[in-house]
Protein backbone atom coordinates (compact mmCIF):
# COMPACT_ATOMS: atom_id res chain seq x y z
CA UNK A 1 0.00 0.00 0.00
CA UNK A 2 1.25 3.44 -0.93
CA UNK A 3 0.35 6.16 1.55
CA UNK A 4 -0.50 9.60 0.23
CA UNK A 5 0.64 12.69 2.14
CA UNK A 6 -0.18 16.30 1.33
CA UNK A 7 2.09 19.23 2.06
CA UNK A 8 1.65 22.87 1.17
CA UNK A 9 4.98 24.42 0.25
CA UNK A 10 8.04 24.38 -1.95
CA UNK A 11 8.96 20.94 -3.30
CA UNK A 12 12.65 21.87 -3.45
CA UNK A 13 12.66 21.85 0.40
CA UNK A 14 11.46 18.27 0.75
CA UNK A 15 13.58 15.35 1.97
CA UNK A 16 12.58 12.34 -0.10
CA UNK A 17 14.24 9.73 -2.26
CA UNK A 18 12.94 11.28 -5.47
CA UNK A 19 11.49 14.65 -6.41
CA UNK A 20 9.37 14.74 -9.56
CA UNK A 21 9.85 17.71 -11.87
CA UNK A 22 7.10 19.06 -14.12
CA UNK A 23 9.54 19.60 -16.98
CA UNK A 24 9.16 20.25 -20.70
CA UNK A 25 10.37 18.02 -23.53
CA UNK A 26 13.60 19.96 -23.95
CA UNK A 27 14.71 18.86 -20.45
CA UNK A 28 16.75 22.05 -20.43
CA UNK A 29 14.80 23.92 -17.78
CA UNK A 30 12.03 26.46 -17.70
CA UNK A 31 9.88 28.39 -15.26
CA UNK A 32 7.61 27.23 -12.44
CA UNK A 33 8.65 24.20 -10.44
CA UNK A 34 11.19 23.27 -13.13
CA UNK A 35 13.03 26.55 -12.67
CA UNK A 36 12.91 26.18 -8.88
CA UNK A 37 14.34 22.63 -8.98
CA UNK A 38 17.22 23.62 -11.26
CA UNK A 39 17.95 26.73 -9.18
CA UNK A 40 18.14 24.95 -5.87
CA UNK A 41 19.50 21.67 -7.24
CA UNK A 42 22.38 23.35 -9.03
CA UNK A 43 24.12 22.68 -12.36
CA UNK A 44 24.62 18.92 -11.93
CA UNK A 45 20.97 18.33 -12.87
CA UNK A 46 21.18 20.34 -16.09
CA UNK A 47 24.42 18.62 -16.98
CA UNK A 48 22.74 15.20 -16.83
CA UNK A 49 19.73 16.52 -18.70
CA UNK A 50 22.02 17.70 -21.49
CA UNK A 51 23.57 14.24 -21.67
CA UNK A 52 20.11 12.67 -21.94
CA UNK A 53 19.31 15.02 -24.82
CA UNK A 54 22.55 14.03 -26.54
CA UNK A 55 21.90 10.30 -26.08
CA UNK A 56 18.44 8.79 -25.48
CA UNK A 57 16.25 11.85 -26.07
CA UNK A 58 17.61 13.67 -29.08
CA UNK A 59 14.09 14.78 -30.00
CA UNK A 60 13.20 15.56 -26.40
CA UNK A 61 11.36 13.61 -23.73
CA UNK A 62 7.87 12.80 -25.06
CA UNK A 63 4.81 14.00 -23.14
CA UNK A 64 3.70 11.46 -20.54
CA UNK A 65 7.12 9.86 -20.15
CA UNK A 66 9.64 10.16 -17.29
CA UNK A 67 13.40 9.96 -16.82
CA UNK A 68 15.68 10.32 -13.79
CA UNK A 69 18.80 12.36 -13.10
CA UNK A 70 20.81 13.17 -10.01
CA UNK A 71 19.11 15.53 -7.57
CA UNK A 72 22.26 17.66 -7.29
CA UNK A 73 22.11 19.76 -4.13
CA UNK A 74 18.51 18.89 -3.28
CA UNK A 75 17.88 16.75 -0.20
CA UNK A 76 16.95 13.81 -2.42
CA UNK A 77 18.75 11.15 -4.41
CA UNK A 78 17.05 11.67 -7.74
CA UNK A 79 14.95 14.07 -9.75
CA UNK A 80 12.45 12.33 -12.00
CA UNK A 81 11.61 14.60 -14.92
CA UNK A 82 8.25 14.13 -16.57
CA UNK A 83 6.49 16.15 -19.24
CA UNK A 84 2.86 16.95 -18.61
CA UNK A 85 0.41 17.73 -21.40
CA UNK A 86 -0.64 21.31 -22.12
CA UNK A 87 -4.34 21.56 -21.23
CA UNK A 88 -6.67 21.59 -24.22
CA UNK A 89 -10.38 22.37 -24.38
CA UNK A 90 -10.76 20.51 -27.68
CA UNK A 91 -8.88 17.30 -26.94
CA UNK A 92 -8.95 15.03 -23.88
CA UNK A 93 -5.34 14.66 -22.79
CA UNK A 94 -6.11 13.10 -19.38
CA UNK A 95 -4.43 9.82 -20.30
CA UNK A 96 -1.17 11.68 -20.86
CA UNK A 97 -1.43 13.39 -17.49
CA UNK A 98 -2.14 10.06 -15.79
CA UNK A 99 0.84 8.60 -17.65
CA UNK A 100 3.14 11.20 -16.05
CA UNK A 101 2.27 9.92 -12.58
CA UNK A 102 2.37 6.25 -13.58
CA UNK A 103 5.66 6.52 -15.50
CA UNK A 104 7.28 8.54 -12.71
CA UNK A 105 6.38 5.79 -10.24
CA UNK A 106 7.71 3.16 -12.64
CA UNK A 107 11.04 5.01 -12.84
CA UNK A 108 10.99 5.38 -9.04
CA UNK A 109 10.56 1.60 -8.74
CA UNK A 110 13.48 1.01 -11.11
CA UNK A 111 15.64 3.24 -8.93
CA UNK A 112 14.44 1.70 -5.67
CA UNK A 113 12.96 4.99 -4.43
CA UNK A 114 10.52 4.52 -1.55
CA UNK A 115 9.44 8.13 -0.98
CA UNK A 116 8.49 10.33 -3.91
CA UNK A 117 7.38 13.98 -3.94
CA UNK A 118 5.16 15.17 -6.80
CA UNK A 119 4.07 18.68 -7.76
CA UNK A 120 0.66 19.20 -9.34
CA UNK A 121 1.86 18.43 -12.87
CA UNK A 122 0.47 20.61 -15.71
CA UNK A 123 -1.60 22.81 -13.38
CA UNK A 124 0.63 25.89 -13.70
CA UNK A 125 2.03 27.17 -16.99
CA UNK A 126 0.38 24.25 -18.86
CA UNK A 127 -3.05 25.43 -17.75
CA UNK A 128 -4.71 22.26 -16.43
CA UNK A 129 -7.62 23.07 -14.05
CA UNK A 130 -6.28 22.18 -10.63
CA UNK A 131 -9.37 20.27 -9.43
CA UNK A 132 -9.21 17.94 -12.40
CA UNK A 133 -5.41 17.71 -12.16
CA UNK A 134 -5.79 16.66 -8.52
CA UNK A 135 -8.41 14.04 -9.41
CA UNK A 136 -6.17 12.47 -12.04
CA UNK A 137 -3.12 12.58 -9.77
CA UNK A 138 -4.81 10.92 -6.80
CA UNK A 139 -6.72 8.32 -8.85
CA UNK A 140 -3.60 7.33 -10.78
CA UNK A 141 -1.39 7.00 -7.70
CA UNK A 142 -4.06 4.99 -5.89
CA UNK A 143 -4.37 2.60 -8.84
CA UNK A 144 -0.63 2.24 -9.40
CA UNK A 145 1.16 -1.04 -8.91
CA UNK A 146 4.30 0.28 -7.20
CA UNK A 147 6.71 -0.46 -4.37
CA UNK A 148 6.83 3.27 -3.50
CA UNK A 149 5.75 3.51 0.13
CA UNK A 150 4.93 7.20 0.31
CA UNK A 151 3.77 9.63 -2.32
CA UNK A 152 3.90 13.20 -1.08
CA UNK A 153 2.02 15.75 -3.12
CA UNK A 154 3.68 19.10 -2.50
CA UNK A 155 1.29 21.89 -3.42
CA UNK A 156 2.58 25.38 -3.83
CA UNK A 157 -0.56 27.31 -3.02
CA UNK A 158 -3.64 26.88 -0.90
CA UNK A 159 -5.99 26.36 -3.83
CA UNK A 160 -3.96 23.40 -5.06
CA UNK A 161 -3.64 22.04 -1.53
CA UNK A 162 -7.42 22.19 -1.04
CA UNK A 163 -8.04 20.56 -4.43
CA UNK A 164 -5.84 17.61 -3.46
CA UNK A 165 -7.27 17.47 0.07
CA UNK A 166 -10.78 17.14 -1.41
CA UNK A 167 -9.64 14.11 -3.41
CA UNK A 168 -7.70 12.41 -0.64
CA UNK A 169 -10.36 12.77 2.06
Binding mask 86-125 for ligand AR6 (x = CB under 6 A): ---------------------------------xxxxxxx
Do 78 and 17 form a contact (C-beta atoms < 8 A)? yes
The H-or-E segment that residue 59 falls in is none
Question: Considering the rule CB under 6 A, would residue 129 count as an interface residue with ligand AR6?
Answer: no
Spatial CA neighbour of 114 closest among 32, 37, 1: 1
Q: Minimum Å distance from CB 52 to ligand AR6?
A: 15
- C-alpha pair distances (Å), 164 with each of 2, 81, 124, 134, 141: 16, 21, 15, 5, 12
Question: Considering the rule CB under 6 A, would residue 34 count as an interface residue with ligand AR6?
Answer: yes
Question: Considering the rule CB under 6 A, would residue 140 count as an interface residue with ligand AR6?
Answer: no
Question: Considering the rule CB under 6 A, would residue 36 count as an interface residue with ligand AR6?
Answer: yes
Question: Considering the rule CB under 6 A, would residue 32 count as an interface residue with ligand AR6?
Answer: yes
Question: Considering the rule CB under 6 A, would residue 48 count as an interface residue with ligand AR6?
Answer: no
Which one-letter DSSP state was computed for residue 58? T
Cβ atoms within 10 Å, residue 1: 4
d(CA 16, CA 39): 18
Do 89 and 99 form a contact (C-beta atoms < 8 A)? no
Task: Confirm whether 166 is a catalytic residue.
Answer: no
| CB nearer ligand AR6, residue 22 or residue 96 | 22
Task: Note the residues at the interface with ligand AR6 (CB under 6 A).
Answer: 10-12, 22-24, 30-34, 36, 84, 119-126, 154, 156-157, 160
Positions annotated as catalytic residues are 34
Amino acid sequence: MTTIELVQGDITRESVDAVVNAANSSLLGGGGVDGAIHRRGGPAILEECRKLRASRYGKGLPTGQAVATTAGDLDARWVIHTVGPVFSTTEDRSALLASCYRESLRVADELGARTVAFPAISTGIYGWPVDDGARIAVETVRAADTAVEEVRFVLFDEQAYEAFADRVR
